[in-house]
Amino acid sequence: MASTMKGPALFLAQFAGDEPPFNTLENITKWAAGLGYKGVQIPTFDGRLFDVDKAYESDTYCDEIKGICADAGVEITELSTHLQGQLVAVNPVYDEAFDAFAPVHLHGNPKARQAWAVDQVTKVAAISRKLGLDNSVSFTGSLAFPYLYPWPQRPAGLVEEAFAELARRWKPILDVYDDHGVNVGYEIHPGEDVFDGATFEMFVDALGGHERAQINYDPSHFLLQQLDYLAFIDLYHDRICAYHVKDAEFNPDGRQGVYSGYQSWTNRAGRFRSLGDGQVDFSGIFSKLAQYGYDSWAVLEWECCLKSPEQGAAEGAPFIASHIIELTDKTFDDFAGGAADKAQINRMLGL
């Protein structure tokens, strides 16, 4: 029988905080399990929940992490290296802004910051295998994104060289992931050089088709770009290894369209919403993923501009659970059929 998608699960990044129950992995996993989540995606960049260096050095620490999650009644879905992955490739225009993603002693030192990020992301390959995980999730980083709109005119070769350099930085990392049998599911996201299907193809081509370069599918980013997110699954389903279940809405008017990022999140034409409050066709997405045999996790990522994270999380678990399709091994019209009969077939065809 075909495998069914797993879930619901919760990405912990937007919920971690300094107050209980969000301040430790033990507390937050128990909280998530209490809401009905069966899995958690752990942000490795949040020291309140996870320590990359300790996990890399200590099998005992990894066993403790697994034990904490198991005691709470949840599985680890993937380890996230979104912020470290972002720092693998940073255009200088973003240097000061992205310093916030790195330890303070690295601020103002882009080369040291990148070396730290590469080390962190690379270590998560081995850590994922220790934890029995086949997939991780991350960002590609961005060298070309400041030149997204072709005005002023881009010099010939700029985009091509950016993707060649992006591949030069990521291929050694992906080779380590391949050694450990772990995929990197890149969240295809504006602000990254890989922000849609065309740029994902450019990245994979520059990597020579590297099999570990996979996709963390998040339809909210596609709706805000007005990209056909169902057709995207048709095109790239064989590369989708992870799934962020996140809603969004796009409401253009006479004042704003897709380029409305100078406004506050509440006032933008494109806004992230809690599950069920936006415009994403989740019935279509879950059906498409089921059609193509996606059997990994459905992970809620909450980033709503209106609803509280606590309410969004509480509503998210039953929403995801109600959309997961239990795959059938039967055909609906089996009752009307019978065993193949060659003679009957010949008679029906006049043969």
Mean pLDDT of each 10-residue bin along the chain, 351 residues long: 85 97 98 98 98 98 98 98 98 98 98 98 98 98 97 97 98 98 98 98 98 98 98 98 98 96 96 98 98 97 97 98 89 65 93 93
Q: Which secondary structure element, helix H or strand E, spans residue 135, and what is its range?
A: strand 135-138
CA dist., res. 284 & res. 272, Å (int): 19
Q: Which secondary structure element, helix H or strand E, spans residue 184, and what is its range?
A: strand 183-187
CA dist., res. 297 & res. 10, Å (int): 10
Q: What are phi and psi of 186, to 5 degrees?
A: -80, 130
Given this model, what pLDDT does residue 329 score?
75
CB 215, CB 200: distance < 8 Å: yes
Q: What are phi and psi of 132, to 5 degrees?
A: 75, 25
pTM across the whole model: 0.95
User: Could you tell me which residues come within 8 angstroms of residue 60 by beta carbon, excluding any fewer than 6 positions away?
Assistant: none
CA dist., res. 180 & res. 191, Å (int): 29
Name beta bridge partners: 216. Answer: 187, 242
Given this model, what pLDDT does residue 331 score?
65
Specify the residue for token string 């995929």.
183
Residues in the chain: 351
User: Could you tell me which residues come within 8 angstroms of residue 234 by beta carbon, excluding any fewer than 6 positions away?
Assistant: 288
CB 223, CB 250: distance < 8 Å: yes
- Which ranges constitute the DSSP H helices of 181-253? 197-206, 219-225, 229-236
Task: Output the CA–CA distances (angstroms, integers) from residue 56 to 127, 168, 278, in the order listed.
Answer: 6, 24, 40
What is the DSSP annotation of 23-57? SSHHHHHHHHHHTT--EEEEETT-TTT--HHHHHH
The structural domains of the chain, ordered by start, are 6-349 (3.20.20.150)
Q: What are phi and psi of 152, to 5 degrees?
A: -65, 160
- Burial label for 243, CB within 10 Å (0-12, 13-18, 19+), is buried
Amino acid at 264: S
Closest to 9 (Cα-Cα) out of 337, 297, 342: 297
Given this model, what pLDDT does residue 336 score?
60
Q: What are phi and psi of 197, to 5 degrees?
A: -65, -40
Sign, CA torsion 22/23/24/26 = negative
**CB neighbours (10 Å) of residue 289?**
22
Q: What is the pLDDT of residues 51-85, one digit of tens each?
A: 999 999 999 999 999 999 999 999 999 999 999 99
CB 146, CB 192: distance < 8 Å: no
CA dist., res. 127 & res. 141, Å (int): 22
Given this model, what pLDDT does residue 90 score?
98
